A and B are shown apart, each in its own frame.
Chain A
Amino acid sequence: MNNLMSRRGLLKLSLGATASLCLPRFLDEELQARELAKGDRAMILLWMNGGPSHLDTFDLKPNHPNGGEFNPIRTSVSDIDICEHLPKLAKQMEHVALLRSMTSKEGSHERGRYLVQSGYLPLPNTVHPALGAVISDELGDSSSAIPDFVSVTVPSLGAGFLGMQHAAFHLPNPEAKPPNASLPPHVNDDRFRRRLGMLKSLEEGFIATRKTQDAKSHFEVYQQGVRLMQAKELAAFDLEQEKDSVRDAYGRTPFGQGCLLARRLVEVGVKCVQVSLNGWDTHLQNFSANRDQMGILDPAYASLLNDLSERGLLDNTLVVCMGEFGRTPKINVLGGRDHWPQTWSASMAGAGIRGGQVVGKTSPDGTDVADRPISVPDLFATCCQALRIDAEKQNHTAAGRPISIVDANGMAVKELFS
């Protein structure tokens, strides 16, 4: 930041500006695609929006009335069973660690989402960043042509006090190109060059008289925008480049295609992708709804793990699947399950997490944690360890209040790394 205030910084900025705003074919030399370098960690969060039923997905209770309609099936790991409606994922279980003893206290969607996406309870005056924003801050590269944090389908929690530059670049539809990243049809390259030329001189006039960081930053962001419009990495957003068979394998759903997109984005250096699947809020007709949900989740999650591991990306990419809470073990009169933060399941894979294991367990009726409770801060500390982020590092809010990346109570789940 500060070097922009210096004369040298200003000079650099204006030279950069000349290059980026005046050339139509823009900056090829600067656009060395950020291939995923060895050791670079990234995260894909599969967000199960609404709170998935743990007893119907990863923590079945076949011999208890709370267990419901579904049967367990064997997986690629001999002593781990999951739901029969996740057959493809079952074959990838050697990559996956199940955390069956997640527990929290926030039973409303909004507060639960805030907690499980930021690692902190909501406070009236402090807005905590989503984990993806932290990752953008810690692992991202501010000079890259593509954003470090992308959210697909449902928007992620914001960047809070870390600032807009770390907020997720949101893509409502994974099959559409990023919004507004291409020129309107009536504006050809010549006109765009003319526009940028005019813009540049207007910007410089204002910067020259005001000399403030804010006026310069405006210009900087426009340069980033233009870089993105012409970035080679933009091709990563084009799912048409994948074979039909690959696209089919993930499932032709927004979530499935979102997972495929997540793999493609991580490949070009995006540090965090959140892909969300709506529809887990199964207050009624829990079982038919869950069958449908798993029909979407199973091919997407399984193909993602398979693809990442085949491409050698799973060693450095953390995949986490969870929602804001679990659901009541007792089935209600409408055949549904309600909100249940006391017990829920999360699953993790990649980035040094030892797959093929289960950590923690719930009581036979599924209502309580029977062994090794794991809190949300514990989970966040675990993610940080996998991503090689210092969980104890403190950031400061606008009011100067120090806040550590993970709440001080959070302890990484050691078993996952052994």
Chain B
Amino acid sequence: MNYIRFHIFGILVCLATPVFAQNPVFAQNTRSHTPEAVASFIDQQMAATWKAERITPSNPCLDHEFLRRACLDIVGVIPAEKAVSQFLADSKPNKRELLVDELLKTETYSRYAAVTWSNLLVGRGKDAEALLHGRFRDWLYEQFRTDKGFDQIIRKVLTATGTALEEPAVLWALHHDTKPENLTGAASRVFLGTQIQCAQCHDHPFEERTQEEFYGMAAFFARATESRVLFVQRVSDTNSGEIRLGGMPTGKIVPPQFTDGTKPARSRYTRRQQLANWMVDPRNKQFAKAIANRVWSRMLGRGLVDPVDDFRSTNAAVYPEVLQRLADEFIRSGYDMKFLVRTISQTRAYQLSSRPSRNNKDDETFFSKAAIRRLNPEQMVASVVMSTGLVNDEKTWDNPVFRLLLQVVLNDFIFVFDNMDETTEVSEFRGTIAQALMMMNSKHITNATKLNLLSPLFRKLAACRTVNDKIDLLFRITLSRSPTNAELKRYAQYFQGAKRSSDQLAVCEDLYWALLNCNEFTFNY
């Protein structure tokens, strides 16, 4: 599949650029644009900095750690128990690379990519609105599943017209009330990584951002309008409508102007199309940088520019060459999201352990150890479900009834996990008391950990011959690793007083509960 895709891409390149195709230099260039080559460039850059900063990077992460991390980042769920033993037994030297390739081929990848981008673009949605969000997610899923370039996806989001019935992508505009100021803030934050909306009210004192810049961009949205019949909303572009400086009726009309200072040429395109054309034009490196930086941040816990939506001259990237290269290669790949994931997953930084080395405990800048990140509600719910053994194949995740039921559980979790803010990705590591109570005592966790004849885990535990096997199983389904000897010994003690099988079962339930509640399960580390 991957080979075929690469092949098709190759054919397209050949058709488009026959001269280059025969050029040996070009062939070599192609090799230098593979994920391996780009990752190796990134590794060199980082190694040089670590050396200069006298930081000893952490050791490479262990295989089970990589497996868990890659699964959570790419498909949004911990690995199935079977996958753990398979991966650990695999002796191929490039098994990490192969794993990422396998994960990227799954429907679960597309589904999870759709969820994360949808949450960022339009939030999770509440009540009746949530149905539209479901449609938006399904639309995004289809885009990722069919390997649409990310530039095409965002072009559609920026320009979509019609009703939400015909065109799910209009939800982005609707979500921002189709107001030029809101759309400008959202577009610049997500697609350009800049906080331009601060200039809505005043010129930024230290940066070169001005009110004119904000309203120049807002002018591209000035002709987008929203109309509504009963419950059906429609987004369309009209031929008139201007934006005035400061949003005041007395302000002067601001003509459309891109944030790089250029102005659109006269054309037949609508203003939103003009903005989209400029936005995803390969010459606009800022778009590729902002997106690459976001993907980096999702996989490494922090952006090369951090916060991810605050690119400005006084908040430079920590490794500017790395971000530049990632952006260039992302553009070159045809804005292929999988290319980014593949590349980043092959970097040494991504594959480091979160255990500190002798001197990098406090490094929060140079990516010399893996960050520790709290699972988001989607990852948490899917991972609890995975641990129960209820899901044996990918088809189950895709079953519409299963997804519906899962959504019900998810809503409960979102409610307690995430009532802060839907659209920012600010991680709040502290969690809340309500969240701890949810994990300790809620009916969902109680139902998951109460083992009865019908639960798959009950049967698996019954098949274990020794106490140690039981403990091992419980660790593997939750923490995706086997217990250490010390852990085996410690938890085996709890079984000693449990003579009856019902007592043994209760100890299993309690250990399972503790494993689901512990920090190691709660974090992607």
Which residues of A line the B interface, CB within 8 A? Answer: 108, 123-125, 127, 147, 155, 158-160, 163-165, 167, 169-170, 178-184, 186, 191, 194-195, 198-199, 201-203, 205-207, 209-215, 217-222, 224-225, 228-229, 398-399, 401
- A-side contacts of B515, CB under 8 Å: 202
B329-376 at interface with A (beta carbon < 8 Å): 354-356, 361, 372, 374
Are A147 and B519 closer than 8 Å at their CB atoms?
no
User: Are B433 and A225 neighbours in the complex by a CB distance under 8 Å?
Assistant: yes
Give the residue among A206, A209, A218 with the most B Cβ atoms within 10 A. Answer: A218
The count of residues in chain B whose C-beta lies closer than 8 Å to any C-beta of chain A is 61
B195 near A191: Cβ-Cβ < 8 Å: no
Name which of B248-256, B392-400, B434-442 contacts chain A.
Answer: B434-442
Pairwise interchain contact A399-B307, C-beta atoms closer than 8 A: yes
What are 29 A-B pairs at a CB distance below 8 A?
Answer: A123-B197, A124-B189, A158-B419, A159-B420, A164-B432, A165-B430, A167-B419, A170-B434, A179-B438, A180-B434, A180-B438, A180-B440, A194-B494, A195-B513, A198-B513, A199-B518, A206-B518, A210-B355, A212-B372, A217-B431, A218-B431, A221-B430, A221-B435, A222-B436, A222-B517, A225-B433, A229-B440, A398-B424, A399-B195
A206 surroundings in chain B (CB, below 8 A): 518-520, 523, 525
A125-B197 in contact given A169-B434, A179-B434 (Cβ < 8 Å): yes
Q: Say which residue of B307, B437, B450, B519 sits within 8 Å of A179 (CB atoms).
A: B437
Chain A residue numbers with a CB within 8 Å of B177 are: 108
| Contacting residues, chain B, for A147 (C-beta < 8 A) | 433
Specify which chain B residues have a CB less than 8 angstroms from the CB of A191 in the assembled complex.
Answer: 506, 510
Q: Which 3 A-B pairs have the closest CB atoms?
A: A124-B185, A225-B436, A198-B514
B518 touching A167 by the CB < 8 A rule? no
- Does the CB pair A125–B189 fall under 8 Å? yes
Shortest Cβ distance from A133 into chain B, in angstroms? 10
In the assembled complex, which residues on chain B have CB atoms less than 8 Å from the CB atom of A201? 490
Instruction: Determine the residue in chain B with the shortest Cβ distance to A121.
Output: B201
* A398–B520 CB distance below 8 A: no
* Complex contacts, B490 vs chain A, CB 8 Å: 201
Q: How far is the CA of A191 from the CA of B372 in the complex (A)?
A: 30
Tell me which residues across on chain A come within 8 A of B198, comparing CB atoms: 401
**How far, in angstroms, from A74 to B419 measured CA to CA in the complex?**
43
Report how far A209 CA is from B525 CA in the complex, Å.
Answer: 11
Chain A nearest CB: distance from B178 CB in Å? 13
Most central of B426, B432, B491 by chain A CB within 10 Å: B432
Are B182 and A124 in contact, with the CB atoms below 8 A?
yes
Q: Mark B416-460, 1 if CB is under 8 A from A, else 0.
A: 000111001010111111111110111100100010000000000
Partner of A155, one of B419, B431, B507: B419
- Report the Cα distance A206→B517, complex, angstroms: 13
Give Cα distance in the complex from A205 to B521, angstroms.
Answer: 12
The answer on a CB contact under 8 Å between B520 and A125 is no
A-binding residues in B (CB < 8 A): 176-177, 181-182, 185-186, 189, 195, 197-198, 200, 307, 309-310, 354-356, 361, 372, 374, 415, 419-421, 424, 426, 428-438, 440-443, 446, 450, 487, 490-491, 494, 506-507, 510-511, 513-515, 517-520, 522-523, 525
- Using CB atoms, name the residue of chain B closest to A147: B433
Chain B nearest CB: distance from A225 CB in Å?
4
A199 CB contacts on chain B under 8 angstroms: 514, 517-518
**Nearest CB in chain A to that of B516: its residue:** A199
Closest B residue, CB atoms, query A184: B446
Residue in chain A with minimal CB distance to B200: A123
Whether the Cβ atoms of A211 and B438 lie closer than 8 Å is no
CA distance A210 to B490 in the complex (A): 20
Contact call B420/A164, Cβ cutoff below 8 A: yes
Q: How far is the CA of A229 from the CA of B498 in the complex (A)?
A: 27
A210 in contact with B436 given A194-B510, A199-B518 (CB within 8 Å):
no
Contact B372 A215 (CB under 8 A): yes
- Taking the closest CB of chain B, its distance from the CB of A301, in whole angstroms, is 27
In angstroms, Cα B436 to Cα A229, docked, is: 11
In the assembled complex, the Cα of A224 lies from the Cα of B433 at a distance in Å of: 6
Contacts of B434 in A (CB 8 A): 169-170, 179-180
Report the separation of the CA atoms of residues A102 and B177 in the bound assembly, to the nearest whole angstrom: 26
One of B426, B429, B446, B510 near A214 (C-beta < 8 A): B429
Known: A124-B176, A165-B430, A222-B436; 14 extra A-B contacts, CB below 8 A, are A123-B185, A125-B189, A163-B430, A170-B415, A198-B491, A201-B490, A206-B519, A210-B372, A210-B525, A217-B430, A225-B437, A229-B441, A398-B307, A398-B426
Report the Cα distance A209→B487, complex, angstroms.
14
User: Are B419 and A205 in contact, with the CB atoms below 8 A?
Assistant: no
- Which residue of the partner chain B has the closest CB to A129? B420
With A219-B519, A225-B437 known to touch, is A180 a contact of B442 (CB < 8 Å)? yes
**Shortest Cβ distance from A269 into chain B, in angstroms?**
15
A195 / chain B contacts, CB cutoff of 8 Å? 510, 513-514
Contact of B431 among A169, A179, A221 (CB under 8 A): A221
**Minimum distance in angstroms from A22 CB to a CB of chain B:** 14
Looking at A125, A147, A401, which has the most chain B CB atoms within 10 Å of its CB? A125
- B310: chain A residues within 8 A (beta carbon): 399
Report the Cα distance A213→B364, complex, angstroms.
12
Query: Are A163 and B428 in contact, CB atoms less than 8 angstroms apart?
Result: yes
- Bound-complex Cα distance A206 to B521 (A): 10
Residues of A within 8 A of B361 (CB): 211
A228 touches B429 (CB 8 A): no
Nearest chain A CB to B167 CB, angstrom units: 23
A170 / chain B contacts, CB cutoff of 8 Å: 415, 419, 434
Q: How far is the CB of A153 from chain B (nearest CB, A)?
A: 15
A265 to chain B, nearest CB (A): 15
CB distance from B471 to the nearest CB of A (A): 11
A179-B434, A179-B437, A221-B432 given; A202·B514 CB < 8 A: yes
CB pair A224 B436 closer than 8 Å: yes
The reply to whether A202 and B518 contact each other, CB–CB distance below 8 Å, is yes
Question: Which residue of chain A is the closest to B444 with respect to CB atoms?
Answer: A180
| Nearest-neighbor residue (CB-CB) of A200 within chain B | B514
Q: How many angstroms between the C-alpha atoms of A262 and B176 in the bound complex?
A: 35
Query: A218: which B residues are within 8 A, CB to CB?
Result: 429, 431, 519, 522-523
CA distance A216 to B179 in the complex (A): 43
